């Protein structure tokens, strides 16, 4: 104590340092506890879809690679493809992505494509899982065409799909904002409505809707058992049409496929969609960029509306106004999907979680 009964300044400083140190330890412990808790799959940590293109150039040369190894347990549908660098595709630090199973023990994560393993649990890795290795369940098919989901329960740490509540969100397409507004050029249209069908199944909802629609509207159908669509002339053929029937083969939340992004938007046609509700589509694209069959009480009324747009050039062109400030991206690429997994693994802390009932979540 000094002459006034107060503790010396040096002692006060030591006490203050000790208190700050204890607070720091508490914060670290609290942060660790939060990271270790299994997150709610319904409220996942957001995954950046489009890392900034300047990111790669802002990194030191020795940081261009994240040093993460990702093993593709199978090539999707058994078809190999060129694995491009993620620094080139998304402007992020590269992961080492390989399909060489000899890298299993070294891999930080394994991506398992559902359709290639769903026939039997024996198709999953059988060796003991290395410490901290994460298994990623990957699927771009709808629940209707995803058999044996129950076999996937309690095996995986992360989900990766077109569903926006996946741990790693990999949609079929998205909108990108343009750096500055641009003038709109609408390709010349000489035909009215097209539809490309790879799987024609009588009795399904979309085929029954078409059967009613064709009573009032001419629809040109391409695909097996229909008009031929030569390889390499996909977009040039569809770009001749004012409208494209983007009818999904099954209706599920967020299941909005290349039928909209590639066949319609990239071809410069207005998509007429049959799939999840309009509000779901509006999460991904402007409300005036598409026509939803649910907006009409019948196929006859839809046909009437399309004929009206065909006659009214100004009204038809209103479905292209959004293109002055947005650009659709919908070129399907396995490599981009896997690079999104690379980016997510770089951004996410290691989480000790298991997806216990994947079959109930993905429905």
Considering only CA atoms, which of 286, 297, 193 is closest in space to residue 247? 193
Considering only CA atoms, which of 195, 193, 262 is closest in space to residue 223? 195
Instruction: Please tell me which residue in 127, 141, 176, 211 is annotated as part of the active site.
Output: 141
Bridging pattern class, strands 109-113 and 241-247: unpaired
List the structure tokens of 284: 């991904």
Q: What are residue 336's phi and psi, to 5 degrees?
A: -65, -40
Contact present, 136 and 110 (Cβ < 8 Å): yes
Q: Is 141 one of the catalytic residues?
A: yes
Q: For 114, how many CA atoms within 13 A lie in the half-sphere containing its CB?
A: 24
d(CA 91, CA 297): 46
Q: What is the CA radius of gyration of the chain?
A: 26
Total residue count of the chain as it appears in this document: 363
User: Residue 305: is it exposed, middle or buried by C-beta count within 10 angstroms (0-12/13-18/19+)?
Assistant: middle
List the structure tokens of 327: 């650009």
Contact present, 66 and 342 (Cβ < 8 Å): yes
| Residues belonging to the active site | 141
């Amino acid at each position: 104590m000094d002459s006034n009964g107060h503790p010396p300044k040096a002692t006060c400083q030591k006490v203050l340092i000790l208190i700050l140190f204890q607070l720091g330890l508490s914060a670290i412990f609290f942060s660790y506890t939060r990271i270790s808790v299994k997150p709610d799959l319904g409220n996942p940590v957001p995954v950046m879809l489009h890392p900034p293109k300047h990111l790669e150039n802002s990194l030191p040369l020795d940081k261009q690679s994240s040093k993460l190894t990702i093993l593709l347990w199978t090539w999707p549908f058994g078809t190999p493809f060129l694995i491009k660098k993620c620094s080139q595709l998304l402007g992020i630090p590269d992961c080492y992505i390989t399909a060489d199973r000899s890298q299993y023990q070294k891999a930080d994560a394994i991506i398992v494509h559902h359709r290639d393993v769903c026939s039997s649990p024996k198709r999953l890795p059988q060796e003991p899982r290395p410490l901290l290795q994460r298994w990623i369940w990957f699927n771009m098919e709808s629940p209707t065409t995803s058999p044996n989901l129950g076999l996937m329960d309690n095996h995986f740490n992360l989900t990766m799909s077109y569903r926006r509540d996946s741990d790693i969100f990999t949609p079929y397409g998205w909108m990108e904002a343009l750096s500055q507004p641009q003038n709109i050029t609408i390709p010349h249209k000489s035909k009215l409505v097209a539809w490309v069908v790879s799987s024609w199944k009588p009795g399904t909802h979309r085929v029954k809707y078409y059967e009613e629609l064709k009573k009032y509207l001419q629809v040109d159908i391409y695909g097996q058992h229909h008009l031929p669509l030569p390889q390499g002339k996909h977009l040039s053929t569809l770009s001749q049409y004012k409208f494209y029937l983007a009818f999904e083969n099954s209706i599920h939340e967020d299941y909005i496929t290349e039928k909209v992004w590639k066949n319609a938007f990239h071809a410069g046609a207005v998509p007429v969609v049959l799939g999840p509700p309009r509000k779901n589509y509006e999460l991904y694209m402007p409300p005036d960029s598409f026509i939803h069959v649910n907006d009409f009480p019948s196929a006859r009324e839809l046909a009437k509306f399309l004929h009206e747009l065909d006659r009214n050039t100004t009204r038809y062109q209103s479905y292209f106004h959004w293109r002055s400030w947005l650009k659709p991206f919908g070129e399907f690429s396995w490599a981009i999907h896997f690079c999104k997994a690379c980016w997510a693994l770089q951004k996410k802390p290691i989480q000790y979680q298991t997806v216990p009932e994947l079959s109930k979540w993905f429905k």
